Amino acid sequence: MLLSPSNKVAFDDSMKIFNNATNKFIVMEVVLLYRCIMMDKSTRIKIKSVVLEILTKKLAEGGPKAEYKPFFVAIFNKKLITYASVIQSFYTAFGMSIYEQTAKTLAENMGFQARRQYVLKGEIDSVTDGLILKIQQDLITGRRKPNSIEEMKLIKKTIKHATKPRKQPYSIVDLYLKSPEGKEYFFGITTVKPNKEGLEAHKLKLLRWMALRLSIDKNANFSVAMLFHTILTIQTAMRGLVLICSLMKINY
């Protein structure tokens, strides 16, 4: 298929972005592997116990509950459907339990303070809330390009100091980290393939986290981020499996 000159430029630009992102991901993998190798024995034991506890609990449940699926049974068979249900239940268990606990353990091993389900208190005044909703709408309609640094600057200009900091409906942070140097990180963890509405809701929550933190301290040094709890490729999955097996001293 031949591309027009304009489409070819767009394609080339897209490939540059993709290759840059891929290179960053490879560097991230190397850093993570290095940090895993540098883990002390107690950290390895903690991670092993977390994984084994979740897996043992899932296995003790006796497998997936029976569901009536005549259409799938006609195409596949009950055995394959049962296998698929068990694997899916493990995906859910890892996403809901293991990733947060493991991230907390690894962070503490590197000298960070770490808390799960952290309550971020503060207040968002009506002017700033209106600004946040406008930013969100502009992102949805394409009038604005995503830029968390600029978004934080705008929120910082309008946010008022919280006179009565309190828990809000969107205050729960999946994972909170604080580095030895004092920088804070607020992580929201979601599925790798959220639908459009889910992604928009998560972005709105991140913007409100910025406002809540700035309502307490406009000079706070922090970042907010959205994490996807999944393995991106088969190759990465195999590397992850080998790493887990080596950490847990499992022969494979």
The model's pLDDT over 75-96, given as tens digits with 9 standing for 90+, comes to: 777 777 777 777 777 777 776 6
The verdict on residue 55 lying in a domain is yes
Give the total number of structural domains in the chain: 2
Amino acid letter, residue 184: E
Both 61 and 138 in one domain: the answer is: no
Both 126 and 224 in one domain: the answer is: yes
| 3-class DSSP state of 183 | coil
Q: What is the pLDDT of residue 14?
A: 47
Both 104 and 137 in one domain: the answer is: no
Dihedrals phi, psi of 77, to nearest 5 degrees: -155, 170
Q: Look at 23 and 195; give whichever has higher pLDDT.
A: 195
Q: Which domain holds residue 203?
A: 116-228
Q: Are 202 and 226 in contact (CB under 8 A)?
A: yes
Burial code (b: 16+ CB inside 10 Å, e: under 16) for 73-96 equals: eeeeeeeebeeeeeeebeeebbbe
The verdict on residue 87 lying in a domain is yes
Average pLDDT over residues 38-64: 76
Both 155 and 242 in one domain: the answer is: no
Q: Is the pLDDT of residue 51 over 70?
A: yes
**Residue 251: which pLDDT band, with cuts at 50, 70 and 90?**
very low
Q: Is the pLDDT of residue 13 over 60?
A: no
How far is residue 121 CA from its own chain's centroid? 21
Average pLDDT over residues 222-229: 76
| 3-class DSSP state of 174 | strand
The verdict on residue 252 lying in a domain is no
Pick the range with the lowest mean pLDDT from 22-31, 80-89, 143-152, 200-209: 22-31
Q: Is the pLDDT of residue 184 over 90?
A: yes
Both 102 and 122 in one domain: the answer is: no
Q: What is the pLDDT of residue 242?
A: 46
- The residue to which tokens 């960070």 are assigned: 112
Both 170 and 78 in one domain: the answer is: no
